[in-house]
Amino acid sequence: MDMLHNLTLGFSVALSFQNLLYALVGCMVGTLIGVLPGIGPVATIAMLLPITFHLPPTAALIMLAGIYYGAQYGGSTTSILVNLPGEASSVVTCIDGYQMARKGRAGAALTISALGSFFAGTVGTIIIVLFAEPLTQMAQKFGPADYCSLMALGLVAAIVLANGSVLKAIAMVFLGLLFGLVGTDVNTGAQRFTFDIPELSDGIDFAPIAMGLFGIAEIVVNLEKKMSRSGAIKVTSLWPTREETRRSIPAVLRGTILGAILGVLPGGGPTLGAFSAYTLEKKISKRPQEFGKGAVEGVAAPESANNAAAQTSFIPMLTLGIPSNAVMALMVGAMIIQGIQPGPEVMTKKPDLFWGMIASMWIGNLMLVIINLPMIGMWVKLLTVPYRFLSPAILLFCAIGAYSLQNSTFHVQQVAMFGVLGYIFVRLGCEGAPFLLGLVLGPQMEEYFRRAMLLSRGDPMVFLQRPISLGLLITTTVLLILMALPNLRKAREEAFQEEEG
Amino acid sequence: MNRFLSKDFLSGVMFIAFGLTALYFGRNLAVGTTVRMGPGYVPHMLSYIMLVLGLIIAVLALYNGGDTVEAPKWKPITMVTIGIIAFGLLLETTGMFPALVALVFIASLGGDEFKLWEVLGNIVVLTFLCILVFKVGLSMNIAVINGVW
């Protein structure tokens, strides 16, 4: 049994003291930032990238993964108790979760959301185990042209799901690709856009860009808003009633399936999963009038969906090396910092890292149930810390972290510069996620593009002659055409409006 | 409403600016042929794509209008940026503690409430934390105050 062997290996890695510790740290940090409104997993992972540089690769990735799915748990707490979404993926949970809390069912809502998330996390992990190997084997048949097309598909899908203008998102992808070119050209050794700055000859480091664009810009935007803090609702009993349990179980199942599917899609992820699950529940429910007034399904389904999606969104990143959303792009960045080239080889060359990380996801989910339920009081207390204490602390952590990458203050100044750029992006309504995906995929994509063209003696038809590449390009084109259709464009805009409102 | 101040028009202008900058600084990179691409092939391609996309976005924005860009609040972004730059300048020359004080102090000025006692308290706690995490925990090679510790 290959799978059993792999899982044994994974658990033996994940259960080592060091990895358990980092999984716990990741889950704690994830819950913390999940609970605090105004700071999300993307910003946090971006800011912690330099720290991971000092850790062994497996521990680093286990910790970052823990932050990502931990935030899905923590976010629901704030949604239910304070009616503020701790995370974008918990926005819908506010609707019925807070209403349940007002009726004195806060404890039940928290328990259902934590146990639903745990179930979804477990299923998500099993799906990763089942699909990782066949997908990796398929990916090993890919030639340079196929990879290039696959990346194009990943980038286009990211655009479809980006919020706001499609054209601007496309331009952001290309801008990201352009920034990815900075440094020494691998084939000829020519210096490109380095402006004679020696620090730039290895390319712009990923960490300062991510920290500036997501971390600093997010802090500045939060400083501009006045954060209102309302009191949290007291939690009494954690136990749901029999009726509540009976109604949640099918909702959890549907949410898990829907979330798991949407998580795998490039550009998908927890937020999309949660919104779709809520809409689905409302549509098929026999009591649609209860939604918005504290329907237990409205908590169970989206909370399971966001966690299932958080797990399955690892699949394209782990097997193909293609990140499907901003967090996965950061994970790819973390792997590159550690000297690991993400892609199908990770599984064969570093099985301990690959399976250890997957096993740790399940362990992390188990930890999160414990962190979140009995310790709920502690997290609620944290909500009373004012933002004016947090923001300088986060900035400081960022600045020292950037310096520690290579003991160079140049990196600190880069963070400041990209912070300004990130702020401009926010003000102009340009999404950061497509930029980040372009940046991460840029160097590889150029490499594959040039290699494919060299092999075909400059004939661009190679992209259409290879069946895999052709299939991927057709899918890409279909996606682009669908986006241009007026009906679909309207539906897409409506979906995002619901999300913002 | 001024159409030239819409988010989309300004984004278009930004993309054009990036395209032109890349084209200017990449002008000496050899383009090569499609078979043997030089270091400049992909940069040139991307620059032109940026120019075209920027132009389309800007022209469409003039045509359709769209959201006006919100007036930025200068204080937070300025103070945060100055704080980080000051930190970068002070870290190696004077040590971690002065750099930390400068960053926390300047960044706190960027918020809408500034209470001296709170900021001082914050500095004390953060100094303690940073020494614990970075100096003791990760044993990083930076002085707390240059020449002293």
Least confident residue range of A184-198, A415-429, B33-47: A184-198
Q: Do B84 and A399 count as a contact with CB atoms less than 8 A apart?
A: yes
CA-nearest of A145, A207, A46, A151 to A442 is A151
Q: In this structure, which long-range contacts are made by residues B38-46, counting pairs with CB atoms below 8 Å and at least 24 apart in sequence?
A: B38/A188, B38/A190, B39/A185, B39/A187, B39/A188, B39/A190, B39/A192, B40/A190, B40/A192, B41/A450, B42/A181, B42/A446, B42/A449, B42/A450, B43/A178, B43/A181, B43/A192, B43/A193, B46/A174, B46/A177, B46/A178, B46/A181, B46/B22
User: Which residues in chain A (189-218) have CB-CB distances under 8 A to chain B?
Assistant: 190, 192-193, 195, 216
Q: What are phi and psi of A220, to 5 degrees?
A: -65, -45
Burial bucket for residue B52 (CB in 10 Å: 0-12, 13-18, 19+): middle
Compute the mean pLDDT over every residue in chain A, rounded to the nearest whole number.
82
Q: Give the pLDDT band of residue A205 (cuts 50, 70, 90).
A: confident
How far is A250 from A253, CA to CA, in rounded Å?
5
Strand partners, A191: A184
Measured in whole angstroms, the distance separating CA A278 from the mean position of its chain's CA atoms is 20
**Angle in degrees, CA A320, A72, A15, rounded to 5:** 65
Measured in whole angstroms, the distance separating CA A181 from the mean position of its chain's CA atoms is 24
Q: Give the pLDDT band of residue A378 (cuts 50, 70, 90).
A: confident
CA-nearest of B52, B25, B27, B54 to B38 is B27
Which tokens hold the place of A363? Answer: 């362990």
With a cut of 50, say whether residue A313 has pLDDT above it: yes
Q: How many CB atoms lie within 10 A of CB A492?
A: 17
Minimum Cα–Cα distance from A388: chain B residue: B111
Name which of A185, A188, A412 is nearest B88 (Cβ-Cβ).
Answer: A412
Alpha helices in A211-325 (DSSP H): 217-224, 242-264, 270-284, 297-312, 314-320
Query: Which amino acid is located at A37 in the chain?
Result: P
Burial bucket for residue A40 (CB in 10 Å: 0-12, 13-18, 19+): buried
Minimum Cα–Cα distance from B130: chain A residue: A397
Q: What are phi and psi of B56, to 5 degrees?
A: -60, -45
* Residue A44, pLDDT score: 84
CA-nearest of A267, A211, A215, A292 to A496 is A267
* Domains of chain B by residue range: 3-64, 74-137
Q: Do A391 and B107 count as a contact with CB atoms less than 8 A apart?
A: yes
* Residue A499, pLDDT score: 46
Measured in whole angstroms, the distance separating CA B52 from the mean position of its chain's CA atoms is 25
Least confident residue range of A429-438, B5-14, B24-33, B134-143: B134-143
Q: Give the pLDDT band of residue A267 (cuts 50, 70, 90).
A: low
Q: Name the 3-class secondary structure at B68.
A: strand
Query: Which amino acid is located at A278 in the chain?
Result: Y
* Residue A164, pLDDT score: 67
* Residue A254, pLDDT score: 92
SS3 sequence of A64-115:
HHHHHHHHHHHHHHHHHHHCCCCCHHHHHHHHHHHHHHHHHHHHHHHHHHHH
Q: How many CB atoms lie within 10 A of CB A42?
A: 24
* Residue A120, pLDDT score: 92
Q: What are phi and psi of A162, to 5 degrees?
A: -70, 150
**ipTM here:** 0.90
Q: Do A428 and B35 count as a contact with CB atoms less than 8 A apart?
A: no
* Residue A498, pLDDT score: 47
Q: Do B39 and A187 count as a contact with CB atoms less than 8 A apart?
A: yes
* Residue B26, pLDDT score: 84
Q: Is the dihedral of CA A382, A383, A386, A390 positive or negative?
A: positive
Q: What are phi and psi of A192, to 5 degrees?
A: -120, 125
Minimum Cα–Cα distance from B60: chain A residue: A167
Q: Do B111 and A195 count as a contact with CB atoms less than 8 A apart?
A: no
Q: Do B69 and A388 count as a contact with CB atoms less than 8 A apart?
A: no
- Residues from chain B that touch A439, judged by Cβ atoms under 8 A, are none
Distance from CA of A193 to the nearest CA of B (A): 6
Q: What is the CA radius of gyration of chain A?
A: 22
Q: Name the 3-class secondary structure at A191.
A: strand
Which tokens hold the place of A143? Answer: 């030639």
Higher local confidence (pLDDT), B136 or A487:
B136
Q: Give per-residue pLDDT as tens, B30-82.
A: 888 777 788 888 889 999 999 999 999 999 888 887 777 777 788 888 888 99
- Residues from chain A that touch B15, judged by Cβ atoms under 8 A, are 171, 175
Name which of A224, A403, A449 is nearest B73 (Cβ-Cβ).
Answer: A224
Distance from CA of B17 to the nearest CA of A (A): 11
Q: Give per-residue pLDDT as tens, A102-137.
A: 888 888 888 888 899 999 999 999 998 888 888 888
- Mutate which: A52, A175, A216, A445, vs B, most B CBs within 10 A: A175
Which tokens hold the place of A308? Answer: 């299932």
How far is B2 from B23, CA to CA, in rounded Å?
30
Q: Give the pLDDT band of residue B129 (cuts 50, 70, 90).
A: confident
Measured in whole angstroms, the distance separating CA B43 from the mean position of its chain's CA atoms is 23
Residue with tokens 């062994």: A56
The whole-model pTM stands at: 0.80
Q: What are phi and psi of A350, to 5 degrees?
A: -125, 65
How far is A103 from A315, CA to CA, in rounded Å?
39
With a cut of 80, say whether residue B6 has pLDDT above it: yes
Interval A437-447 mean pLDDT: 82
- Residues from chain B that touch A410, judged by Cβ atoms under 8 A, are 88
Residue with tokens 């935030």: A71
CB burial readout A384-421, b (16+ within 10 A) else e: eeebbbbbbbbbbbbbbbbbbbeebbbbbbbbbbbbbb
Q: Give per-residue pLDDT as tens, A11-50.
A: 888 888 889 999 999 998 888 888 877 677 888 888 888 8
